[in-house]
């Protein structure tokens, strides 16, 4: 018993801190595999769920500076405990949500707000536990690994829960972590509260509404239409098609107005000598903002590739969600191996050069994946490209954090890391929403056109668009067996060629999206030349 007490006294706090980031990453990672049954149950669409994820990341990023300010003023433990309670409440709302609106309130509103505290506090607690630079490096690496593991476990667990039990159980499992985290973390010694600058609540709200309305409008454009409402506007609710036009331009206009008000508000506060959200935060640092943009774009590419593989492999290879997750796992394993190896020994090369080497290797891996995609693809033929991409990602992730924080003050590190992580979640949401939607859209167009060509017929443009939209919904929300049942209703003379049409459409769509992903990766490489050559201090990675 004495040894057990010693173990928990020594390692209980760090384990609880790592479990915090594990839980946050799990929450984001679990949504993707449970989307189909969730969308079906809510009679909603994938775009709405993606919007909830985007809003969650924006709420977290916008309120992280404020949450850090409150934690310093009131004490980290009381604020952390309150955040865990709000996070649990948000999970409860998600679990019992009767529709997509309540689901969004729980996920984006409550858990997003609580995450503003939960993403920044672990770094500050690790700082207090491990003041020595060497041990702190490994402690922060543990946080990065916990985040990656949470997303991986979420993708596997979500697939099992969604189709074997209920998607709600995937979130219910997290509730067991919250009391365990509090019992472990409450024994960590923290600094006493300190006086801080007043909080700019108005600026925080305007930033949430400005970025939120704009990005949600963009994410819903494919579902609702850029101007003309998709489908019959008379059958749409007024909220989705006010005055006969799509709500998308209204949301984007409202977001831009809020951003304009934010700039005016912050300028007025600066003239009066009052602390402003933008001047208090880390966004006024050019290198930080540039590194944040590159990291977010890379995450969009990263998640876009993985998301599209989760769509492509079950269709062409015929694997279920769990076996698909295992087939893609070499990517994550290679990334973790590189992270751990570089934590032990760093090459004596400029940090920017190593980051660019990682982007180059990542680009090579994407090109190898493009070449491997074909009707005869197998999990084994994917392995080399996944390993190469994982190695490149590990190199990039190791150094992007250090270069991003190159001109960030030590006192702002907790806030900077707290803002960085939700922006990576935002990049992940955009990767799924934009690159994933692109894959499904291209595949749907090619399937419909292939079937029509095989039948030797022509379709009215409006009928064709309607067929493509219906197929997009079916691909994103129905199981493979359910989709097969739909295709079985097609005319008998199309059945012999159907498998060839489906495989050809999937392969061509995957290759098309990979070319766009390749271009985005090269854009990251080009922007990286604006980063400093070396960082003053090597930081633990955030992913």
> Is 16 within the bounds of a domain?
yes
Residue 275: name the closest of 191, 204, 207 by CA. 204
- Residue whose token pair is 């907790």: 414
Same structural domain, 68 and 29: yes
Structure letter (DSSP) for residue 412:
G
Spatial contact of 144 and 22, defined as CB atoms under 8 Å apart? no
What is the SS3 string spanning 381-405? HHHHHHHHHHHHHHHHHHHHHHHHC
Same structural domain, 192 and 205: no
What is the SS3 string spanning 438-471? HHHHHHHHHHHHHHHHHHCCCCCHHHHHHHHHHH
pTM strictly above 0.75: no
> Is 225 within the bounds of a domain?
yes
Spatial contact of 322 and 155, defined as CB atoms under 8 Å apart? no
> Is 522 within the bounds of a domain?
no
**Sign of CA pseudo-dihedral 261, 263, 264, 266:** positive
Same structural domain, 28 and 137: yes
Residue 142 lies in domain: 11-197
> Is 345 within the bounds of a domain?
no
User: Backbone phi, then psi, for 542, in 5-degree steps?
Assistant: -125, 125
Same structural domain, 115 and 20: yes
> Is 128 within the bounds of a domain?
yes
Residues 42, 38: Cα–Cα separation, whole Å: 6
Q: What CATH number does the domain containing 114 carry?
A: 1.20.1250.20
Residues 408, 43: Cα–Cα separation, whole Å: 46
Asked which of 169, 197, 225 is the last residue of a domain, the reply is 197
Residue 404: name the closest of 277, 528, 303, 520 by CA. 528
Spatial contact of 185 and 16, defined as CB atoms under 8 Å apart? yes
> Is 252 within the bounds of a domain?
yes
Same structural domain, 128 and 25: yes
Same structural domain, 228 and 255: yes
Structure letter (DSSP) for residue 478:
S
Asked which of 274, 300, 330 is the last residue of a domain, the reply is 274
State the total domains in the chain.
3
13-67 residue pLDDT tens:
788 888 888 898 888 878 877 777 787 788 777 777 777 877 787 777 767 767 7
According to the model, what pLDDT value does residue 279 have?
Answer: 43
Same structural domain, 133 and 205: no
Same structural domain, 230 and 270: yes
Q: How many helices (H) and strands (E) does the chain have?
A: 22, 0
Q: How far is CA 266 from CA 159, 200, 276, 342, in A?
A: 45, 9, 6, 41
> Is 82 within the bounds of a domain?
yes
According to the model, what pLDDT value does residue 1 have?
Answer: 39
> Is 315 within the bounds of a domain?
no
What is the SS3 string spanning 179-215? HHHHHHHCCCCCCCCCCCCCCCHHHHHHHHHHHHHHH
457-493 residue pLDDT tens:
777 777 777 777 777 766 666 666 666 777 777 777 7
Same structural domain, 41 and 116: yes
N-term to C-term CA, the chain = 37
3-state helix, strand, coil in the chain (%, to 5): 80, 0, 20
Mean pLDDT by 10-residue block, N- to C-terminus, for the chain (543 residues)? 56 81 86 78 75 77 72 79 92 89 84 84 74 67 79 76 77 88 80 59 71 67 62 49 69 80 73 56 71 88 85 74 79 85 77 90 93 83 91 88 78 68 74 79 81 75 75 67 69 74 83 92 91 76 62
Same structural domain, 164 and 235: no
Asked which of 223, 241, 274 is the last residue of a domain, the reply is 274
Q: What angle do CA 212, 219, 208 make, to 5 degrees?
A: 5
Same structural domain, 165 and 229: no
Same structural domain, 247 and 165: no
User: Backbone phi, then psi, for 176, in 5-degree steps?
Assistant: -70, -25
């Amino acid at each position: 018993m004495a040894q057990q007490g010693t173990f928990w006294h020594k390692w209980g706090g760090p384990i609880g801190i790592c479990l915090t980031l594990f839980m946050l990453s799990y929450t984001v990672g679990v949504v993707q595999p449970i989307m189909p049954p969730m969308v079906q149950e809510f009679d909603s669409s994938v775009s709405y769920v993606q919007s909830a994820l985007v809003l969650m990341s924006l709420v977290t990023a916008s309120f992280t500076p404020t949450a850090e300010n409150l934690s310093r003023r009131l004490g980290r433990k009381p604020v952390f405990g309150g955040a865990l309670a709000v996070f649990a409440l948000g999970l409860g709302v998600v679990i019992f949500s009767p529709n997509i609106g309540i689901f969004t309130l729980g996920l984006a509103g409550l858990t997003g707000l609580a995450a503003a505290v939960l993403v920044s506090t672990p770094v500050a607690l690790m700082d207090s536990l491990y003041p020595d630079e060497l041990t702190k490096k490994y402690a922060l690496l543990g946080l990065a690994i916990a985040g990656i593991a949470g997303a991986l476990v979420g993708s596997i667990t979500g697939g099992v829960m969604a189709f074997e039990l209920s998607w709600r159980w995937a979130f219910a499992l997290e509730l067991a972590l919250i009391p365990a985290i509090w019992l472990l973390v409450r024994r960590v010694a923290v600094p006493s509260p300190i006086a801080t600058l007043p909080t700019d609540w108005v600026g925080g709200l305007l930033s949430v509404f400005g970025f939120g309305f704009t990005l949600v409008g963009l994410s819903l454009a494919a579902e609702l239409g850029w101007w003309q409402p998709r489908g019959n506007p008379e059958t749409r609710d007024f909220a989705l098609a006010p005055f006969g036009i799509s709500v998308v331009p209204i949301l984007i206009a409202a977001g831009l107005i809020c951003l304009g008000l934010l700039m005016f508000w912050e300028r007025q506060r600066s003239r009066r000598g009052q602390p402003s959200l933008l001047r208090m935060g880390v966004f006024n640092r050019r290198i930080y903002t540039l590194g944040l943009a590159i990291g977010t774009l890379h995450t969009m590419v990263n998640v876009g590739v993985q998301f599209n593989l989760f769509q492509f492999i079950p269709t062409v290879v015929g694997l279920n969600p769990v076996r698909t997750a295992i087939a893609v796992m070499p990517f994550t394993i290679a990334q973790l191996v590189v992270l751990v190896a570089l934590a032990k020994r760093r090459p004596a090369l400029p940090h920017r050069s190593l980051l660019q080497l990682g982007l180059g290797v990542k680009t090579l891996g994407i090109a190898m994946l493009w070449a491997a995609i074909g009707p005869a693809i197998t999990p084994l033929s994917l392995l080399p490209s996944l390993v190469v991409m994982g190695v490149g990602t590990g190199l990039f992730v190791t150094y992007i954090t250090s270069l991003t924080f190159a001109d960030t003050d030590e006192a702002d590190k907790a806030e900077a890391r707290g803002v960085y992580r939700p922006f990576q979640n935002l990049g992940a949401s955009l990767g799924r929403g934009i690159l994933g939607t692109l894959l499904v859209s291209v595949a749907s167009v090619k399937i419909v056109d292939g079937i029509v060509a095989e039948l030797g017929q022509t379709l009215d443009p409006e009928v064709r668009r309607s067929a493509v939209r219906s197929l997009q919904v079916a691909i994103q929300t129905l199981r493979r067996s359910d989709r097969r049942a739909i295709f079985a209703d097609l005319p008998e003379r199309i059945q012999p060629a159907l498998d060839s049409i489906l495989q050809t459409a999937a392969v061509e769509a995957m290759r098309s999206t990979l070319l766009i992903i390749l271009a985005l990766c090269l854009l990251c490489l080009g922007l990286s030349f604006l980063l400093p050559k070396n960082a003053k201090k090597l930081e633990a990675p955030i992913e």
